[in-house]
Structure 1
Amino acid sequence: MDSVDAAFDATPRRDFLPRGVRRRASYDGPLTIAAGQTNSQPRTVDDMLRLLDVRPGQHVLDVGAGSGWTTALLAHLVGPSGVVLGVELEPELVSFGGANLARTHRPWATIRLATPGLLGDPDGAPYDRILVSAMARSLPTALVDQLADDGVLVVPVDGTMLRVTNPGAVVTEHGRYRFVPLR
Structure 2
Amino acid sequence: MDAGPDRVAAAFAACPRARFLPAGQQRRADFDGPIQIGHGQTCSQPRTVEAMLRLLEVRPGQRVLDVGSGSGWTTALLAHLTGPAGTVVGVEIEPELVRFGADHLARTGQPWARIAPAVEGVLGWPAQAPYDAILVSAGARALPAEMVDQLAAPGRLVIPVAGWMLLVEKDTAGEVRTGRHGSYRFVPLR
Q: Find 1:122's aligned residue among 112, 123, 126.
A: 126
TM-score w.r.t. length of structure 2: 0.95
Aligned to 1:100: 104
Give the CA RMSD over aligned residues.
0.6
Instruction: Output the amino acid matched with 1:173.
Output: R
Instruction: Output the amino acid matched with 2:170.
Output: N
Q: Runs of 4+ in structure 1 displaced over 6 angstroms? A: none
Amino-acid identity (%): 64
Matched, 1:162 2:166: yes
- SS at the partner of 2:80? helix
Deviation at residue 116 of structure 1 after TM alignment: 1.3
- CA distance in 2: counterparts of 1:171 and 1:72, whole angstroms: 26
- CA distance in 1: counterparts of 2:87 and 2:108, whole angstroms: 15
- SS at the partner of 2:88? strand
Q: Find 2:31's aligned residue among 18, 27, 34.
A: 27
Aligned residues: 183
- CA distance in 1: counterparts of 2:126 and 2:25, whole angstroms: 34
Aligned to 2:44: 40
- SS at the partner of 1:123? helix
Deviation at residue 123 of structure 1 after TM alignment: 1.1
- CA distance in 1: counterparts of 2:41 and 2:179, whole angstroms: 27
TM-score w.r.t. length of structure 1: 0.99
Aligned pairs for 1:55-70 within 5 A: 55-70=59-74
Instruction: Output the amino acid matched with 2:77.
Output: L
Instruction: Output the amino acid matched with 2:45.
Output: Q
Instruction: Output the amino acid matched with 1:122.
Output: P
Aligned to 1:50: 54
Aligned to 1:77: 81
- CA distance in 1: counterparts of 2:139 and 2:68, whole angstroms: 10
Matched, 1:145 2:152: no
